């Protein structure tokens, strides 16, 4: 059944965020011959809009307004609802990022939609219904939901779907006028953040294609340079176990796990991490998992695609050196 799909995209710096690019590929498949419209909100959207226009969408809408910055869920949800009515969309897709889930919660109520978050598989069903598969219970089980139309709202887990190849022809890009947002929906502005220092340079942990995480097996904060060096050679983001962030070796924003960040990279390298269920819940959706640990009985090996048993203080520098040699550095 053909349908109209609206993709609500996010940016990462001056570029289209990788999870939004992946959601664009799913949007085209769900449309099944119907139309796909991309929507970008905020400001300075030239770069992300140009990239989204080559992701297989039929058009790109730019909603640029100061009221949409900084990021706040209710103003975004209000504008998305208006965009979904022109033309009438049957499905709205967002990336399953922290902010994407926040917007989805507000939008589900405003748009009166059936909703599912964290989708890793999506397929059409009879009529205007959609079947969604998603991990639950910290990744220890999977749930299938049958969502009824006419309005369906999904957040798509990063890394679960392939991103489309850039199209040869760019879709048209047009401004989307933002109507005045009612004052109650503009309430609640961020006054600032306290706690973690500014994130380290490198890919964003939530959307990185490769993540290298370190655990208590590194023994001290100073030894985390081994993780940073390896991540630098791989072009990877740096993650950590809860034991590491609790010890203050890394900021809490680097924590991967059930109470931290949930990542779904193409490659996840776990160094000196035993593999407690809390940590596995945050990275079990990774496409390929490599574990390095001196304990052959560590639970992480049960979830790993590849395992190296040995002294990480010898293994990690050797891998880093080999990567440098291959690059001729």
Q: What is the 3-state secondary structure (H, E, C) of 89-145?
A: CCEEEEECCHHHHHHHHHHHHHHCCEEEEEECEEEECCCCCEEEEEEEHHHCEEEEE
Pairwise pLDDT comparison (189 vs 177), residue with the higher score:
177
- Using alpha carbons, select from 266, 305, 205, 232 the residue that is nearest to residue 22: 266
- Report the distance separating Cα 295 and Cα 183, nearest Å: 58
Q: Which tokens is 143 given?
A: 């749930």
pLDDT tens digits, 99-132: 899 999 999 999 999 999 999 999 988 888 999 9
The pairing of beta strand 173-175 with beta strand 59-64? parallel
- Report the distance separating Cα 31 and Cα 207, nearest Å: 25
Contact present, 230 and 319 (Cβ < 8 Å) = yes
Confidence of residue 288 (pLDDT cuts 50, 70, 90): very high
Lowest mean pLDDT among 69-78, 112-121, 136-145, 181-190: 181-190
pLDDT tens digits, 165-186: 999 999 999 999 988 887 777 6
Tell me the pLDDT of the chain averaged across its residues.
90
Q: Which tokens is 193 given?
A: 């953040």
- Hunting for tokens 């655990």 — which residue is that? 215
Instruction: Label residues 142-174 b or e (16+ Cβ within 10 Å = b).
Output: eeeeebeeebbbbbbbbbbbebbeeeeebbebe
Confidence of residue 195 (pLDDT cuts 50, 70, 90): low
Q: In this predicted structure, what is the pLDDT of residue 171?
A: 96
Q: Is the pTM of this model over 0.85?
A: no
Q: Which domains does the chain have, with CATH numbers?
A: 5-186 (3.40.50.620), 210-327 (3.40.50.1220)
């Amino acid at each position: 059944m053909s349908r109209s799909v609206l993709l609500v995209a996010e940016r990462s710096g001056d570029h289209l965020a990788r999870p939004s690019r992946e959601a664009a590929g799913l949007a085209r498949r769900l449309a099944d011959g119907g139309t796909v419209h991309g929507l970008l909100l905020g400001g300075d959207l030239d770069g992300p809009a140009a990239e989204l226009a080559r992701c297989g969408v039929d058009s790109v809408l730019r909603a640029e307004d100061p009221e949409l910055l900084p990021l706040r869920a209710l103003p975004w949800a209000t504008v998305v609802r208006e965009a979904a009515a022109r033309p009438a969309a049957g499905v709205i897709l967002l990336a399953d990022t922290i902010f994407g889930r926040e917007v989805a919660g507000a939008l589900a109520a405003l748009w009166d939609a059936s909703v599912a978050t964290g989708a890793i598989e999506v397929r059409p069903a009879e009529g205007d219904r959609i079947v969604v598969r998603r991990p639950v219970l910290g990744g220890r089980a999977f749930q299938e939901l049958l969502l009824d139309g006419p309005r369906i709202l999904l957040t798509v887990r990063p890394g679960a779907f392939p991103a489309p190849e850039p199209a040869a022809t760019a879709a048209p890009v047009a401004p989307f006028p933002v109507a005045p947002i009612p004052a109650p929906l503009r309430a609640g502005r961020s006054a600032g953040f306290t706690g973690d220092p500014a994130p380290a340079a490198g890919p964003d942990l939530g959307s990185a294609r490769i993540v290298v995480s370190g655990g208590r097996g590194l023994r001290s904060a100073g030894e985390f340079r081994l993780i940073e060096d390896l991540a630098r050679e791989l072009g990877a983001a740096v993650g950590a176990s809860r034991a590491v962030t609790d010890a203050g070796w890394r900021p809490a924003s680097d924590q991967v796990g059930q109470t931290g960040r949930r990542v779904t990279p193409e490659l996840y390298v776990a160094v000196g991490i035993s593999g407690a269920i809390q940590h596995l819940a945050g990275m079990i959706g990774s496409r390929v998992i490599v574990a390095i640990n001196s304990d052959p009985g560590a639970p992480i090996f049960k979830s790993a695609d590849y395992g190296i048993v040995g002294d990480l203080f010898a293994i990690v520098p050797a891998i880093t050196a080999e990567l440098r040699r291959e690059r001729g550095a």
